Amino acid sequence: MKLKGKKAVITGASRSIGRAIAVAFAKQGADVLITYRSNEKGALETVSEIQKLNQSGKAIHSDFSHSEGVITFFDKALEFLGCIDILVNCAGEYDTTSFLELDRAKFELLLKVGVSAPMQLTQLIAQHMIQRKVAGSIINISSISGNRPYPNRVAHSTAKAALNMLTQSTALELAEYNIRVNAIAPGATPYNNDIDPNLLKGIPMKRPGLPEDQANAAVFLASEESSWMTGQIMVVDGGQSLSF
């Protein structure tokens, strides 16, 4: 197993990509702590799947829209896991409001949850990894919307573009401590298999992404197989970002 004995934190894992990553990590031998904000039922289902694989799992309710919520979660994570080898920043808000209708509060919420919280949690966990001399892997879940603009995605795209730069900047500073930081940029990966047929036409591989497609990439980035990769934005989109 590629992650045997590892301790992983995955934020926002009550469904879809976050859940798929949590289960994939457990299949590879990792104990997994996840967070959720509103979907307690989904979070508990994720934990149940982890435990069925004979790995330790726990879900913690967290509000990452403010600094105190991040600190409280970090303390609880250390209490449960003891040590953290892997962090996946998957929690985030999504918005499709057109720019002229977008209010500042919504815009700032996406930046708080999608950029400020990952920055703070990465900092706390990196400090822990350095103290414990852990060769850690940190993975940010970005989006192809962070690489190019799409209509009605101003807040979402801005947050993901900032997350990409956060990934590369922290990778540069943490490399000397043998802590790797990479990101995954998914294309259209609907959590309920419902996708606009018009969008499907723009995907060269002619199918939407599956949460497992992103989970497979996360396992690779968390494992020793990617031990010489850092600061990379791995696009997993079936060629969608190539289509204009």
Residue 130 sits in a domain whose CATH number is 3.40.50.720
Question: Is 110 inside a domain boundary?
Answer: yes
Cβ atoms of residues 118 and 9 within 8 Å? no
- What is the domain extent for residue 87? 7-242
In three-state secondary structure terms, 146 is helix
Question: Is 216 inside a domain boundary?
Answer: yes
Report the 10 Å Cβ neighbour count for 172: 12
Q: pTM above the 0.85 mark? A: yes
Q: Would you give per-residue pLDDT tens digits along the chain (244 residues)?
A: 999 999 999 999 999 999 999 999 999 999 999 999 999 999 999 999 999 999 999 999 999 999 999 999 999 999 999 999 999 999 999 999 999 999 999 999 999 999 999 999 999 999 999 999 999 999 999 999 999 998 999 999 999 999 999 999 999 999 999 999 999 999 999 876 667 777 788 899 999 999 999 999 999 999 999 999 999 999 999 999 997 6
Phi, psi (5° rounding) for residue 23? -70, -40
Q: How many domains does the chain have?
A: 1
Largest CA distance in the chain: 50
Question: Is 2 inside a domain boundary?
Answer: no
